[in-house]
Structure 1
Amino acid sequence: MKLDNRGLEPPQPMMRTLAALESLSGGETLFIINDRRPMFLYEQLDELGYEHETTEQNDGSFLIEIKK
């Protein structure tokens, strides 16, 4: 699943991401694109036990891969 959070103001990207994660089954991956590095989201993902990896894109956005 892919979720584009660009152009949204905080906390909307985090709220949309957490809601999308609830709909995923175990073993699935969520890809999100954000305008900025989601520092508060990382804390939530760590607490919930999700694996995540962030890659900065050429346009300055960030692609975050989250594994459930």
Structure 2
Amino acid sequence: MIPDELDLRHLDAPEPMLRALDAANRLAPGEAVAIVAPRLPRPLLMELAHLGFDAEPEAPRADGSVRVVIRRPCNAETAA
């Protein structure tokens, strides 16, 4: 279960990416947050991978939006 979900569909760029990265950086090891983006956020996924986070996008919804679950690994030395 993911307790937090941020709906970023109504925001203009670059605000969705900034808010998603901020939420990810606030996670404790083993925690997760879900975001809903207006479309598949490829630049965000690349940046999260670079920072050491796990990010799992779900299949696009009927409106084209995508839910992504972001997790900070338990061995969080790589995610900062």
**TM over 0.5: same fold?**
yes
- Paired residue total: 68
Offset, 1:59: 2.9
Q: Which runs of 5+ in 1 are unaligned?
A: none
State the distance in 2 between where 1:36 and 1:59 align: 9
Identity %: 37
Runs of 4+ with >6 A deviation: none
State the distance in 2 between where 1:11 and 1:37 align: 14
- The structure with more strand, counted as a fraction of residues: 1
Q: Which runs of 5+ in 2 are unaligned?
A: 73-80
Q: Which of residues 47, 70, 80 in structure 2 aligns to 1:66?
A: 70
- The structure with more helix, counted as a fraction of residues: 1
State the distance in 1 between where 2:61 and 2:30 align: 25
The alignment's TM-score, normalised by the length of structure 2, stands at 0.78
